[in-house]
Chain A
Amino acid sequence: MERYERAAVLLSLVEKLRDGDSWCGETHVQKGTYFLQDLLGVPLEYDFILYKHGPFSFDLRDEISWMRAKDLLKLQPQPWPYGPKLIPGDNAELLMETYLKPIERYTDRVQKIADEFADMGVTALERYATAYYVSKNHEEVGDGDIAVKIVELKPHISLGEAQEAVEFVAKLRRVLSES
């Protein structure tokens, strides 16, 4: 996918998250894009690694910077204690009108991600995305030990939270594979 097409798909994700009353900060966009790409196979071609707050793409962060510079996205600060939101910029509509085809091609998958994650807070997104990442990237870890591995990699997540995240991800995979 070329850069402007990718930007159009990202903008459609931002819009659908916002339609679902998502806070839509950078964490929401990072994790939503991660699931969209790695779980639902939309070929956005970002490299994700396990970093702060779970799976994170430096390429995507640079893409967001570029989109802000191009007035495709805007950062909207929020009063304490909330982090800033990402909202469509002045050029967003023009881009989405110009690149309708990629948006239409992936609209169902973008909608599924928005349906699943729009109403989640950042800590839940961090846990679930981390659980999915560990289950996918640490094949040496048996199913029963994924939660332990999550705690080892992210000590600020409790074992109970990690176990709940592993169960959520297993259910999510079932639901999305059936739909």
Chain B
Amino acid sequence: MVNKRTHEIRDPIHVFIRLDSDERKVLDSPPFQRLRHIHQLALTYLVYPGATHKRFEHSLGVMELASRIYDVVTDPENIYQQYASVRDIIPIYRQFDHLHWRRTLRLAALCHDLGHLPFSHVSEELLPEDWDHERMTMEIILGKELADILRQIHVQPEDVAKLVIGPKKSKAYLKVELNEWENILSEIITGDVFGADRMDYLLRDSYHAGVAYGKFDHYRLIDTMRVLPKQEAGGSQEPVLGVEEGGLESAEALLLARYFMFSQIYFHPVRLIYDEHLLDFLKSWLDKGLFPTDWKEHLKYTDNEVISAMLSIAQNKSHPAHIHADRIVNRRHFRSIYRSTAEDRKLLEPGKKIYEAASEKFGEENVKHVEKTQTRSVSDFPVLVQGTRIAQAASEKETFEDVTSVYEHVFVSAEMKNEANTWLLNNREGILSSAGGG
């Protein structure tokens, strides 16, 4: 008889994360253990020293939250019988299909980040065209090592893969279209409104960075989540994730938490410029400037290999990647001379104009321009009001109208910072007056 003992893992965010012996086989596999060596926030720890947490514990957290969401939205007491489009797709509670999809969802949540490259998102630019971390994740899940384990515990690797990579990438890479139920399950993991991935990273990144911005009442939010038709009768009846009205403030807090985390942590100017230097280093250090796409080769690369090489090359002045390693290791990163203001955003491309003028003055190799927008800012979801009518979140709360922004910086090399600041002070107005259009 198979031992299905429950294992408990201590976690600073969720206290205990429990998994059974079958799920532990995936946890103990080399592709998953590799995540112990991939920083969740790349080089952010050079700005916020506590942010050294890894994809390993985040993946466990996503599994925990995805399970809680699943249990709430499939509980018969939380399924509104008047909505046929919802009622008809949710498997019967505690029956085979319900348990099967719960297991598949948990494993998909656990595996959702397996394909991350060293230092996570920043390195994705160094994959060949048409490749990204989701595709790498799919390759690993369908690769023999993990697929054998999944089949052994009666889970189909293809089902896990499509829930992880979602509808867009499933269509592109697996040539399959997700059905309505699979779309809901995928949304539970990586959805753009209340996905478990988003909830866990906000809470966890906030905790480790030592800031309070990412906190919100996720207990209340999860407790009020429901599968609802997108719109009131007469509108689209397609089932999506929404909330009961009691969870609206928690959803609002999540949206604001994300906004503040982007402005304070993810798009912190020093973190952004470290990303640029890291990218330059990797391009110079990697064979042909690219990471491999063979999943077995991919698994050989973690942050540790990159950090080790970077420390060594920072000491070796003759290495072509030395200048980039030196900028990171010895904190000789470029300095910000320009950040777009609310007033500047009335122009179309203010940062680009400053960058072009600064490049002409100081040399292209000494100037960098970074523009970032908070993507996947979705705020239209259904809200069940008084148990009887479906409203739209943006109609219920003004916060959902517009919480997004553009962050634009121009950086110059550290040694030119003072000269560049003086130059910009004297020329800023003239440069920006030409920034009407492209």
B residues within 8 A CB of A58?
A: 168
Tell whether, in the assembled complex, residue A77 and residue B401 are in contact, meaning their CB atoms are under 8 Å apart: yes
The reply on B405 being an interface residue by CB < 8 A is: yes
The reply on A94 being an interface residue by CB < 8 A is: yes
Q: A73-108: contact bitstring with B at CB < 8 Å (1 yes, 0 no)?
A: 011111111111000001100110111000000000
A92-146 residues with Cβ-Cβ distance < 8 A to B are 94-95, 97-99, 121-123, 126
B residues within 8 A CB of A123?
A: 234-236
A105 CB to nearest B CB, Å: 16
Tell whether, in the assembled complex, residue B179 and residue A80 are in contact, meaning their CB atoms are under 8 Å apart: no
Residue of B nearest to A84 (CB): B394
- Looking at chain B, what size class is its interface with the partner chain? 35 or more
Given the contacts A49-B177, A98-B348, A66 and B395 also touching, CB distance less than 8 Å: no
- Bound together, the chains give a CA A74 to CA B401 distance in angstroms of 8
- Bound together, the chains give a CA A120 to CA B404 distance in angstroms of 29
Residue of A nearest to B238 (CB): A52
A1 CB to nearest B CB, Å: 12
Tell whether, in the assembled complex, residue A82 and residue B395 are in contact, meaning their CB atoms are under 8 Å apart: yes
The reply on B312 being an interface residue by CB < 8 A is: no
The reply on B85 being an interface residue by CB < 8 A is: yes
- Bound together, the chains give a CA A84 to CA B231 distance in angstroms of 12
Tell whether, in the assembled complex, residue B376 and residue A62 are in contact, meaning their CB atoms are under 8 Å apart: yes
- Bound together, the chains give a CA A80 to CA B168 distance in angstroms of 31
Tell whether, in the assembled complex, residue A77 and residue B398 are in contact, meaning their CB atoms are under 8 Å apart: yes
- Bound together, the chains give a CA A61 to CA B404 distance in angstroms of 13
Tell whether, in the assembled complex, residue B230 and residue A47 are in contact, meaning their CB atoms are under 8 Å apart: no
- Bound together, the chains give a CA A4 to CA B376 distance in angstroms of 19
- Bound together, the chains give a CA A121 to CA B231 distance in angstroms of 12
- Bound together, the chains give a CA A26 to CA B401 distance in angstroms of 13
Tell whether, in the assembled complex, residue A155 and residue B380 are in contact, meaning their CB atoms are under 8 Å apart: no
B residues within 8 A CB of A71?
A: 345-346
A100 CB to nearest B CB, Å: 10
- Bound together, the chains give a CA A44 to CA B95 distance in angstroms of 46
B17 CB to nearest A CB, Å: 30
Interface-central residue, B172, B232, B438, by most chain A CB under 10 Å = B438
Task: From B150-158, B275-283, B385-393, B415-423, give the one contacting chain A.
Answer: B385-393
The reply on A176 being an interface residue by CB < 8 A is: no
A128-177 residues with Cβ-Cβ distance < 8 A to B are 153-156
A residues within 8 A CB of B89?
A: 155
The reply on B210 being an interface residue by CB < 8 A is: no
Tell whether, in the assembled complex, residue A75 and residue B375 are in contact, meaning their CB atoms are under 8 Å apart: no
Which residue of the partner chain, among A47, A50, A80, A95, contacts B437 with CB atoms under 8 Å? Answer: A95
- Bound together, the chains give a CA A4 to CA B406 distance in angstroms of 15
Tell whether, in the assembled complex, residue A65 and residue B436 are in contact, meaning their CB atoms are under 8 Å apart: no
Tell whether, in the assembled complex, residue B395 and residue A77 are in contact, meaning their CB atoms are under 8 Å apart: yes
- Bound together, the chains give a CA A121 to CA B233 distance in angstroms of 12
A150 CB to nearest B CB, Å: 12
Tell whether, in the assembled complex, residue A51 and residue B167 are in contact, meaning their CB atoms are under 8 Å apart: yes
Which residue of the partner chain, among B85, B400, B438, contacts A155 with CB atoms under 8 Å? Answer: B85
Residue of B nearest to A153 (CB): B177
- Bound together, the chains give a CA A47 to CA B239 distance in angstroms of 23
Residue of A nearest to B391 (CB): A80
A172 CB to nearest B CB, Å: 20
Residue of A nearest to B382 (CB): A83
Residue of A nearest to B407 (CB): A69
The reply on A18 being an interface residue by CB < 8 A is: no
Which residue of the partner chain, among B168, B237, B378, contacts A156 with CB atoms under 8 Å? Answer: B237
Residue of B nearest to A4 (CB): B438
Tell whether, in the assembled complex, residue A91 and residue B402 are in contact, meaning their CB atoms are under 8 Å apart: no
Residue of A nearest to B437 (CB): A98
B88 CB to nearest A CB, Å: 7
Tell whether, in the assembled complex, residue B438 and residue A99 are in contact, meaning their CB atoms are under 8 Å apart: yes
Which residue of the partner chain, among B391, B394, B437, contacts A97 with CB atoms under 8 Å? Answer: B437
B136-182 residues with Cβ-Cβ distance < 8 A to A are 167-168, 171-172, 177, 179-180
A112 CB to nearest B CB, Å: 25
A53 CB to nearest B CB, Å: 5
Given the contacts A77-B394, A156-B237, A122 and B231 also touching, CB distance less than 8 Å: yes
Chain B residues within 8 Å of A, Cβ to Cβ: 84-85, 88-89, 167-168, 171-172, 177, 179-180, 183, 230-232, 234-240, 345-349, 373-380, 385, 389-392, 394-395, 398, 400-402, 404-406, 436-438
The 7 closest A-B pairs by CB, nearest first: A98-B437, A81-B232, A156-B85, A49-B171, A84-B394, A156-B237, A77-B394
Apart from the given pairs A91-B346, A98-B437, 18 other A-B contacts in the complex at a CB distance below 8 Å: A47-B172, A61-B378, A62-B375, A66-B375, A66-B406, A75-B394, A77-B400, A81-B234, A83-B235, A84-B395, A94-B436, A98-B348, A99-B437, A122-B235, A122-B236, A123-B236, A126-B236, A126-B238
